[in-house]
Structure 1
Amino acid sequence: MIVMNIAVSRQDGVIVFTPDGRLDGHGSGIFDDTIQSAFHDDDSAAVVDMSSVEYLSSAGIRTLLTLAKEVKRRGGIMALAGVQEYPLKVLKMAGFHSVFTIVSTVPEGLLACGKDGIALSLIDELSASSEKHGMVSYQVERAGTGTARLKVRGSLSTLLHARITREDLVESMFSSIRYSIGLGALSPDAESALPLLGEMITLHGAMVWLPTDGNDTPDFLAPVGEDFGIPVYTAFNITLEGPFHEYISFESEDPDGISLEDLYRQLFSRAKEKQKDFKGIIALAIAGITAGMTGSGFARSPLREYSGGLKGTIMDEDAIGDWCSVTQIPHHTGDTLVSFGVGVDTTADLSSYDPVSLHSLAYLHPAHKGTSDQQLHNHGVIFRGVPWDKNAPLEKMIQTLLQEAEVADMRHLLNSTRFRRGKIGVAYISEVTEE
């Protein structure tokens, strides 16, 4: 049996496929599967190293054409490098030798793709200030100037001690929520929502959540036009009121990206230096390409009736396994991750905030023990099927994803979640209030 092997690498920001074998009906099927699994949302150019492909048929041409069309859809090109004599004759006979970009070597293919030497690919055209922190490049654009506040509904303590009852549920409408995170559910009424309460995030009036129905599968509802009175039931919720003060594009030179905790840490550092009104809390909306998401989600709703013999909190090491599904192994690499959350710089002077409200923003997850300089609370959604658009503003990108992309996962993000590149809306929080 003749085997088709395909190696995948990335050089200068371009994905390179190196098939070794026959691109016939069987080999092209394997190539199709490889392309499907290897393509990341931010891939926009490809080189196929054909130097080890001695046979090509119409089936193989169809695979190459599909790849070329997908790359073109993303605003880039595909190059074929090192095409042998027989496959070249087949391309000419089929009339495709003038359709594909054909070069002699992979380096020539990289140059043809226009990626060689480009380090920062995000909105270079913007007249934004550039900064460099470690291996991460930032471009900063000023945005809103109004006051940004966080409004807290419900009791974090009640949630953590699994004491939620029907009286703790608050009903809201889609149109009233722009960015928020918390514990909530979509359901016709409060009674049916109660046992389904799970991690939730709202983005532009759309809600993505992780029902505690035993299936560990996200659900979502994105209204178009009127919301027709569809309620959101929440037991705990943190909502941003006010604008983002900065929009920041970033890209890491490290292929493993930057962790969420280090991203917050760098933003705290620059805020202390550049924001005279910085008081110690920021809220971030992020859309980026993940280098690996880690997260957790409730396995069951933290209700009083389910708490049994719980003596401490559901986040205690001897209890969390009964209440949460925790994934510390990075996954979803190359997919688009949209998150919203808050960060508290515990080294800052936080005396201007109401202490009760302040302590409702975040809690210590067992995975974060040993971190004392900041407290983070972020939820995120994995989207698939919409290519990364480096020129789209953050808000437009999120709206497009909500309308067109597949929702693949949703979690409370662990601080070890990593991003390769992305766009951030930063709100410097002046006040935290409880409702």
Structure 2
Amino acid sequence: MSDLVISTEKVGSVSLLRLVGRLDAHGADLAEPAFQAVDHKTAVVIDLGGVPYLSSAGIRLFVALQKNLQSQGGKLVLAEVQPYCRDVLKVSGLDQFFTIEETVTRAFLELGEKNSVFTRPAGRFVYQHGEDRMGAIEVLGDIGNVLASRITPALMAGKKFSSKEYSIGLGALGPSDEDVLPLLGEMITIGGTMVWLPTDGNDTPDFLVPQQDSDSVLIRTGFNVSLAGEFNEYVEFEAASENGATLGEIYESLMALARERRPDFRGALGLAMRAEVGELYGCGVVKSPIAANAPENGKLITDPENYEKWFEYDQTPRLRDVSALICGIGVDQSADLSVFDSKYLNSAFYINPGNADSTGLKLHNHGVCFRPFPLGEKPWSLEREIQRIVNDGDFVDMRHLFDRTTIQWALIGVVYVEDFRPDSSQSV
């Protein structure tokens, strides 16, 4: 039988000890040097998720460490204690002597850590606290009108750039709604800029970075989904694999961590991301989904009979090794989504046939890509890094992103969604 394995990691001000194996007399002898080496003036979390057996020798280590920590101002939290080991602590009369948390994540919250590091199969997530108040997803129009190709002038809205800091949807730039209707395409607003993919047959995205608002130069849109509220958390992500993690895997991890860490999490989040992309898969609508272009068969533009005519989509990576700005939303379909206004929730998402992944999540993401762009100096700020690449980056492309797009590294701003609601910004 293999010996106990001990690893020690410094996470912020906390020492995290991970034990894997039997914590019997022999295991306690092996673990004791690591217990003695930790900083007794701060806090220690012991991850016991890999420990199936505990004896009095191991318990004595915990008691000695707790006493040393308490005498010097530190604190001990045990996490992920397995059922047999819990029973051993109970029969020893010491289950109330220790602070015990179900997960390592909750242990860090117990210690009041606002900067926390978590490792998941997708990679490493470093969290920093942001705004306490939850945000919302605001929806202008209905994705159903896009999919049925029934956008008309009456469904268009003109928005100032300042009202749509982080958003995705269908839109265009031009002097009037009538002028842009034949050109409506995929769009994203991020970092003060709008990037869109005109449906003029050239497959060349266009963009504008305004320095001030205007009543005439507007974001013209027939469908828009925007993040409302400040970012609740900022996350630095580094993929476990050199090939990167998929967008779907990153969303899965963010939602799993939210379920563990946040009692207020309702199953939906929005995000903005400054990312290093390994492989980009995406698509773009190639005809403006206006009433005049509606399919003759009366079916949706995503119907198998129409999809090939309406979308250009990637079966192999469109781009590799690019920097990107991404905005998106996601919901966990296993959550109780009845807490949200179903009208606006259902208006924000659609199933794209080219997005073959099935993750149990429903995602909607757009991204604008640049040639590889260096990060600024630490400490990194998401907003500052977005602004740097918008102002100085070499623009390459813009797409609706498929879930299988891979991310190697990213700064992510996360909005935990309290509700889906109608767009609140005033049209011009």
Fold equivalence (TM over 0.5): yes
Which residue is equivalent to 1:349? 336
Give 1:94-243 correspondences, 5 Å limit.
128-227=115-214, 229-243=216-230
Distance 1:164 1:228, change over 3 A: closer
Q: Which amino acid is the alignment partner of residue 247 of structure 1?
A: Y
Match of 1:271 among 258, 261, 281: 258
Separation in 2, partners of 1:426, 1:156: 23
Equivalent residues of 1:337, 1:381 under 8 A apart? yes
Equivalent residues of 1:206, 1:220 under 8 A apart? yes
SS in 1 for 2:339: coil
Aligned: 1:433 with 2:421: yes
SS in 2 for 1:366: coil
Aligned: 1:416 with 2:421: no
Separation in 1, partners of 2:127, 2:248: 19
Separation in 1, partners of 2:357, 2:298: 23
Which residue is equivalent to 1:52? none
Equivalent residues of 2:185, 2:288 under 8 A apart? yes
Which residue is equivalent to 1:325? 312
Separation in 2, partners of 1:390, 1:353: 40
SS in 1 for 2:404: coil
Separation in 2, partners of 1:395, 1:237: 21
SS in 1 for 2:281: strand
Separation in 2, partners of 1:199, 1:338: 15
1:320-342 CA deviation, whole Å, 9 max, x = no partner?
11111001312322210110010
Separation in 1, partners of 2:252, 2:356: 16
Separation in 2, partners of 1:131, 1:170: 42
Equivalent residues of 2:198, 2:204 under 8 A apart? yes
Which residue is equivalent to 1:397? 385
Match of 1:286 among 248, 267, 273: 273
Separation in 2, partners of 1:372, 1:134: 15
How far residue 226 of structure 1 moved from its aligned partner, in angstroms, is 4.3
Equivalent residues of 1:293, 1:333 under 8 A apart? yes
Distance 1:346 1:385, change over 3 A: closer
Aligned: 1:298 with 2:285: yes
Which residue is equivalent to 2:364? 377
SS in 2 for 1:396: helix
Separation in 2, partners of 1:162, 1:229: 26
Separation in 2, partners of 1:329, 1:156: 26
Structure 1, 231-240 or 220-229: larger mean CA deviation? 220-229
TM-score for the superposition, normalised by structure 2: 0.70
Separation in 2, partners of 1:144, 1:328: 39
Distance 1:293 1:364, change over 3 A: same
Give 1:20-31 correspondences, 5 Å limit.
none
Q: Which amino acid is the alignment partner of residue 407 of structure 1?
A: F
How far residue 160 of structure 1 moved from its aligned partner, in angstroms, is 0.4
Identity %: 36
Distance 1:192 1:285, change over 3 A: same
How far residue 138 of structure 1 moved from its aligned partner, in angstroms, is 1.2
Distance 1:387 1:227, change over 3 A: farther
Separation in 2, partners of 1:406, 1:168: 34
CA RMSD in angstroms comes to 1.7
How far residue 255 of structure 1 moved from its aligned partner, in angstroms, is 1.3
Equivalent residues of 1:176, 1:205 under 8 A apart? no
Q: Identify unmatched segments of 5+ residues in structure 2.
A: 1-112, 424-428
Separation in 1, partners of 2:322, 2:191: 21
Separation in 1, partners of 2:307, 2:194: 25
Separation in 2, partners of 1:277, 1:368: 30
How far residue 149 of structure 1 moved from its aligned partner, in angstroms, is 1.0
Separation in 1, partners of 2:114, 2:132: 19
Separation in 2, partners of 1:222, 1:308: 35
Separation in 2, partners of 1:375, 1:255: 26
Which residue is equivalent to 1:255? 242
Equivalent residues of 2:134, 2:229 under 8 A apart? yes
1:93-119 CA deviation, whole Å, 9 max, x = no partner?
xxxxxxxxxxxxxxxxxxxxxxxxxxx
In the alignment of these two chains, the number of paired residues is 310
1:233-284 CA deviation, whole Å, 9 max, x = no partner?
1000011110111100011131110000111111111111111100111001
1:54-93 CA deviation, whole Å, 9 max, x = no partner?
xxxxxxxxxxxxxxxxxxxxxxxxxxxxxxxxxxxxxxxx
Structure 1, 356-365 or 324-333: larger mean CA deviation? 324-333
Equivalent residues of 1:346, 1:372 under 8 A apart? no
Equivalent residues of 1:288, 1:423 under 8 A apart? yes
Task: Give the ranges of 4+ consecutive aligned residues of structure 1 lying more than 3 Å apart after TM superposition.
Answer: 225-229
Q: Which amino acid is the alignment partner of residue 301 of structure 1?
A: S
SS in 1 for 2:136: strand
Q: Identify unmatched segments of 5+ residues in structure 1.
A: 1-125
